[in-house]
Amino acid sequence: MNELRPESRSQWRGRWDRCWSLAIAVLLLGCSSGEIEHAEHHDPPHRPERFADAVVRLGELYRERSGTADLPLLELPAVEESPIETAADEEHEEHEESHEDETPVGPAVESRDLWVWLPTLAAETDLPEETWNAIAAISREWQARERELAWDRLADDDATRQWWRQSLIRLADDARRSLDKTNAIEAQ
């Protein structure tokens, strides 16, 4: 048989260990730097920072598209900014500046994106799981309606407009609760 000699086996083992070490090092270094670069420029400029901001913008888009003022706008309390500037603040400013030259998206794209992002933004709050499930269901329902009726016709369909309005009222209540919980935690 072709049995490896002891010195060959140890040489083979040393080469094998070095290959694995090199492969792991390359993967770790390659993945970490790529993730950082990718994350810095991944979010489009119209992606809101908070769930409540998305709900406010969806309400504005509803009012613009439907041409009615039958939905009161959700008014958000001002976000208190720390007097101390952090590295995260600097990164945020740089990120905002990197989007200054970008062409703004139209209301159809912005609305679609906001509805898709709602569950993710809601997951970043302290809302209970049942509320998140309801928000995710509303998001899926809107996406299904938008696939069925193009953006241009969403506000023309009475049933869809009524559903849209009721959903935004529900989302505004959830947004207020998320802000109340956030403010209570920050006050402690």
The residues, ordered by sequence, that sit 6+ positions from 157 with a Cβ below 8 Å of its Cβ are 149
Instruction: Report pLDDT digits (tens) over 104-119.
Output: 788 889 999 999 999 9
Where does the pLDDT of residue 139 fall: very low under 50, low under 70, confident under 90, or very high at 90 and above?
A: very high
**Cα–Cα distance for residue pair 188/185, rounded to 1 Å:** 5
Range scoring the smallest mean pLDDT among 33-47, 123-137, 170-184: 33-47
Highest mean pLDDT among 14-18, 27-31, 154-158: 154-158
Residues of the chain with pLDDT > 70, as a percent, come to: 57
Closest CA to 105 of 117, 89, 93: 117
| Cα dihedral 65, 171, 42, 154 in deg (nearest 10) | -30
**Cα–Cα distance for residue pair 157/161, rounded to 1 Å:** 6
Q: What is the rounded average pLDDT of the residues 128-152? A: 90
Highest mean pLDDT among 34-38, 99-103, 109-113: 109-113
Answer yes or no: is pLDDT of 4 > 90: no
Answer yes or no: is pLDDT of 143 > 80: yes
